[in-house]
Structure 1
């Protein structure tokens, strides 16, 4: 809520619905895609994207309509807000199109014929999978899943209807945010609580799948960094030219994503712009790495799958010197000179292999003053880089 208020002060209107739609689409698309489907003539038909349908009040709150956000899983919260604002304005001006606008046309049909017409449209669109050009209804007009905000009407919980013609696996409702006492770390504190309830089609969704969807939504709302923006993932560089980007780090089989993200932040802090990463390391774009890097990976040159043979070729080509970090290293300030240096750090459990230690110009260690088996790898990188920069 603080972030929403901050953006509002900056002139950007975001809503809780925008955040929940982003979290819901990603949970559906990434965590539980097997429920992103509907049943047609006894067969399950899967959808390719997570298109969230949100309910919208029109005509001064007297009627409700819906808005489908295409490929919601690819949009940031701000993009969802912009798209929704533009389309909602058109709907409130009566410029609506599609399935929700068609209901006004169907409503004008005399009641004895209304149901047969309705059933025919349902059969044509959902059972056969065709669009309805006359009424401008696409073949899948209600998206993948529906989200309605009943909190705007002062309600906290509700059981929304499944809306059978929509062929939706679930309909979720957001309730009014209220401050309530909760237990945090054994203490009773006041927190703002957002109630979310839902109704599910049990032909598609069972309890375990519903729980997984709920967990995915909660985790993304607890960590909004994961849903605030979308960035294209760059492909790894296979033939790096690091001659002009020394000094550089060489990381050997780093397996902990949190450590790798923290190392990225630390490296950037000390003015080192290139990290070379060996095969067998964690994916540099895994969610935990991205979150713990806190944006540092967008400012670094990351080169993956670099074997030590290639490091040796870089050293020969550029005249670079390799310095290794190891518990067996000297703890005095290393006499590192020149700009063309590569600092090597090994995995959390095994350290650097002997071939790297033998090939290095020197092995650096950290003096222990108290107790402990070892230092965290990211902490070790920070200590050593600070020592080198002080030189």
Structure 2
């Protein structure tokens, strides 16, 4: 059995967790234009990185989304965990303070860290190997206790190879690269994050604009929310913030980036 499947067998139990789902379709014209502008000046940026910035913007604008333990400790941040597909398994990486970085910085850091993950040198590789070697009952116990200590208490666990709050404040996975436009994913209990966003593909889609049907590039995002931390009101505010960023990424980039862009013009 692969290490990931051994880990999954300890993570999942009967489906009783309080989760709810939502999807958002947004006109990606501005997003693609921003991506093209970045490419023309030699700083390519991926759609996943741009969505990461949008999610971080939502976390900053709706701080109630954070795990209550982080709010109490005064640490509501915008750390985002990106799921990465590797050979025969899933892994990932956490980028810190995504709201404070430009989309280009996020894209560059994401590419570099994803390369490390695919080489087997990712931040969770040691933990996965350690847990997969344990018998199932012990694996389940260690996984859940370690999750509580690392995520809720914010404790580093060097013996397991797990850093504090390993999954950040939200998770992102791209399914658009596989040609999938719409998909949902469950939240495992050990993630300890309020939401997981799936990035679908961008496709030409008929939409109504000023009473007329036109074709626009539409990006579909789907999200799974943990109902212990998030309700519909929070989710609606978060969705509005994400749509706001996608509608004009340049306007919501960090102040230093906007200033540099103005000088370039």
Residues 147 and 192 of structure 2 are in contact (CA less than 8 Å); yes or no, is this contact kept in structure 1?
Answer: no
Residues 147 and 191 of structure 2 are in contact (CA less than 8 Å); yes or no, is this contact kept in structure 1?
Answer: no
1:120 to 145, 153, 169: 145
Matches within 5 A, 1:15-30: 15-29=46-60
Q: Which residue of structure 1 lines up, in the alignment, with residue 158 of structure 2?
A: 133
Q: Do the aligned partners of residues 225 and 126 (structure 1) sit closer, same or farther apart at CA in structure 2, a change above 3 Å counting?
A: closer
- 1:160 and 1:219 map into 2 onto residues whose CA distance is 24
Question: Is the aligned partner of 1:36 residue 2:66?
Answer: yes
Q: Do the aligned partners of residues 93 and 100 (structure 1) sit closer, same or farther apart at CA in structure 2, a change above 3 Å counting?
A: closer
Q: Which residue of structure 2 lines up, in the alignment, with residue 156 of structure 1?
A: 181
1:184 to 194, 197, 209: 209
Matches within 5 A, 1:115-264: 115-231=140-256
Q: Do the aligned partners of residues 45 and 156 (structure 1) sit closer, same or farther apart at CA in structure 2, a change above 3 Å counting?
A: farther
Q: Do the aligned partners of residues 130 and 6 (structure 1) sit closer, same or farther apart at CA in structure 2, a change above 3 Å counting?
A: closer
For the residue of structure 2 that corresponds to 1:194, the secondary structure is: strand
- 1:184 and 1:123 map into 2 onto residues whose CA distance is 48
Shift of 1:124: 3.1
Residues 78 and 228 of structure 1 are in contact (CA less than 8 Å); yes or no, is this contact kept in structure 2?
Answer: no
Q: Which residue of structure 1 lines up, in the alignment, with residue 78 of structure 2?
A: 50
- 1:133 and 1:101 map into 2 onto residues whose CA distance is 10
- 1:144 and 1:135 map into 2 onto residues whose CA distance is 21
- 2:141 and 2:162 map into 1 onto residues whose CA distance is 17
How high is the TM-score relative to the length of structure 1?
0.55
Task: Calculate the aligned-residue CA RMSD, in Å.
Answer: 2.6
Matches within 5 A, 1:68-147: 68-97=94-123, 99=124, 101-147=126-172
Residues 145 and 168 of structure 1 are in contact (CA less than 8 Å); yes or no, is this contact kept in structure 2?
Answer: yes
Q: Do the aligned partners of residues 114 and 17 (structure 1) sit closer, same or farther apart at CA in structure 2, a change above 3 Å counting?
A: same
Q: Do the aligned partners of residues 127 and 68 (structure 1) sit closer, same or farther apart at CA in structure 2, a change above 3 Å counting?
A: closer
- 2:117 and 2:255 map into 1 onto residues whose CA distance is 27
Q: Do the aligned partners of residues 48 and 39 (structure 1) sit closer, same or farther apart at CA in structure 2, a change above 3 Å counting?
A: closer
Residues 52 and 143 of structure 1 are in contact (CA less than 8 Å); yes or no, is this contact kept in structure 2?
Answer: yes
Which structure has more relative contact order (CA 8 Å, sep 6+)? It is 2
- 2:165 and 2:230 map into 1 onto residues whose CA distance is 19
Residues 151 and 166 of structure 2 are in contact (CA less than 8 Å); yes or no, is this contact kept in structure 1?
Answer: no
Shift of 1:46: 5.5
Comparing both structures, which one devotes a greater share of its residues to helix? Answer: 2
Structure 2, unmatched stretches of 5+, are: 1-31
Structure 1, unmatched stretches of 5+, are: 233-289, 300-391
For the residue of structure 2 that corresponds to 1:157, the secondary structure is: coil
Residues 38 and 167 of structure 1 are in contact (CA less than 8 Å); yes or no, is this contact kept in structure 2?
Answer: no
Shift of 1:113: 2.8
- 1:171 and 1:117 map into 2 onto residues whose CA distance is 23
- 1:32 and 1:100 map into 2 onto residues whose CA distance is 32
Residues 52 and 80 of structure 2 are in contact (CA less than 8 Å); yes or no, is this contact kept in structure 1?
Answer: yes
